């Protein structure tokens, strides 16, 4: 059986919160070794208020499996020296500080990639390493707002809405991983690494997709999309007679005809108002009135079954609890259970499967500094006296364990 594709790649993870940790978790799922470098207080997501498991924030747990944690004071010269030694043996560094922070800490990407030409350095930031916004702090909702994404989310006439998922963070993390994999592929040929600049805002702008092109062509800003589509009248949500919502995406002539047959309104197929997609879009208000009235005659589940039989794409609108229950019942590896012998939880697995390859056995997100001693000893070759001295002087945190007893 083949090994995971990134087996043997060592990633030094200097990230916190979500965009960076989501990227390095994905790299770990693909087989890379992730050394998570935290401040002495830990990744700030450890303190997010919300559900907890065994005293740890669920927010942190969601994005930090398959990592080892070392806690270093990067404001101390000795801590920076430890960090530089870790980087010297790394294939990839991922950080999401504001631009310029790494250089001020003594970890200048230009200097370190010059000293280690094969190193791949990924800098995730809100607005990129250059430009007028580079020094501004950014969070998920900030880039959703600035990108136009929030203006598209919600229903017409209602205030702009944040997407219910952290798309600004997660998309940036995904683009970071694409950059890493591309750079490693090029490095195999040239021996040289790259510095990669990933902007959360640019990631959200890229996600606008056809909406960006529509807007550039028409010079008209689209409004909130609700549960519909700007171009396809029969691509939207409806309610059944029981009040449950379901979505219909009848976006081809065959599907349109199947929708009409299923609803018993075959006469609409020949109605000049609805002869093609363009006319249906022009007359969508009158069309929706007919469809909504028919859908109100039966429960949503019945319409879902009937439309499925007619090969019209349809699905009930499920809440997250229902969606995860479906994934669990499917048993196809969508969910992964992560445990440490004391606590365990389910999370969504990385949706990439390499057929015939060994799957990475997920490890529980680390305690702060859980692996400080082993990393200093095994990776950097420090002896117990040196490690205990670093712990005693507050340069590193080692989960309260001294090297001499670890």
Active site residue 169: yes
Are 126 and 201 in contact by the 8 Å Cβ rule? The answer is yes
Say which residues have a Cβ less than 8 Å from residue 43's Cβ, sequence separation at least 6.
16, 17, 21, 36, 60, 64, 368
- Among all chains, which residue has been given the structure tokens 């087989």? 31
Are 346 and 323 in contact by the 8 Å Cβ rule? The answer is no
Distance CA 239, CA 236 (A): 10
Q: How far is CA 307 from CA 240, 251, 271, 290, in A?
A: 13, 14, 21, 17
Distance CA 3, CA 354 (A): 10
Are 224 and 160 in contact by the 8 Å Cβ rule? The answer is yes
The strand pairing partners of 348, in sequence order, are 335
Distance CA 133, CA 126 (A): 8
Are 316 and 326 in contact by the 8 Å Cβ rule? The answer is no
Reference 125, options 159, 109, 101, 107; nearest CA is 101
Reference 231, options 260, 210, 247; nearest CA is 210
Reference 134, options 194, 197, 88, 184; nearest CA is 197
Token pair listed for 372? 């400080």
Please identify which of the residues 73, 140, 169, 388 carries the catalytic annotation.
Answer: 169
φ, ψ of residue 56 in degrees (nearest 5): -110, 140
SS3 396: strand
Q: Beta 10-13 vs 33-38: how paired, if at all?
A: parallel
Active site residues: 169
């Amino acid at each position: 059986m083949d090994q995971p594709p990134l087996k043997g790649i060592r990633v030094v993870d200097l990230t916190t919160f979500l965009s960076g940790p989501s990227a390095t978790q994905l790299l770990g799922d693909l087989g890379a070794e992730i050394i998570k470098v935290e401040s002495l207080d830990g990744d700030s997501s450890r303190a997010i208020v919300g559900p907890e498991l065994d005293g740890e924030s669920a927010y942190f747990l969601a994005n930090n499996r398959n990592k080892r944690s070392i806690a270093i004071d990067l404001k101390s010269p000795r801590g920076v020296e430890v960090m530089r030694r870790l980087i010297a043996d790394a294939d990839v560094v991922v950080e999401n500080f504001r631009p310029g922070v790494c250089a001020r800490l003594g970890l200048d990407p230009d200097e370190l990639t010059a000293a280690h030409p094969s190193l791949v350095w990924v800098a995730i930031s809100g607005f990129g390493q250059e430009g007028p916004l580079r020094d501004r702090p950014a969070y998920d909702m900030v880039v959703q707002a600035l990108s136009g994404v929030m203006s598209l989310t919600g229903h017409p006439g209602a205030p702009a809405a944040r997407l219910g998922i952290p798309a600004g963070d997660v998309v940036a993390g995904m683009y970071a991983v694409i950059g890493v994999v591309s750079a490693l592929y090029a490095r195999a040929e040239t021996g040289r690494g790259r510095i990669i600049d990933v902007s959360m805002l640019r990631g959200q702008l890229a996600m606008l997709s056809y909406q960006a092109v529509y807007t550039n062509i028409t010079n008209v800003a689209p409004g909130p999309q609700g549960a519909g589509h700007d171009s396809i009248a029969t691509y939207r949500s409806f309610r059944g007679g029981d009040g449950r919502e379901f979505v219909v995406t009848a976006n081809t002539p065959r599907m349109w005809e199947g929708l009409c047959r299923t609803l018993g309104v075959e006469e609409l197929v020949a109605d000049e108002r609805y002869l093609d997609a363009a006319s249906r879009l022009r007359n969508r208000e009158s069309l929706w009135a007919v469809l909504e009235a028919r859908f109100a005659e039966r429960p949503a589940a019945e319409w879902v079954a009937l439309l499925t039989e007619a090969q019209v794409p349809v699905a009930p609108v499920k809440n997250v609890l229902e969606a995860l229950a479906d994934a669990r019942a499917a048993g196809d590896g969508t969910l992964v259970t992560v445990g440490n012998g004391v606590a365990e939880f389910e999370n969504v697995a990385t949706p990439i499967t390499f057929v015939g390859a060994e799957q990475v056995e997920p490890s529980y997100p680390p305690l702060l500094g859980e692996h400080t001693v082993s990393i200093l000893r095994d990776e950097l070759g420090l002896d117990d006296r040196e490690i205990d001295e670093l712990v005693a002087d507050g340069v590193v945190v080692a989960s309260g364990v001294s090297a001499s007893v670890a």
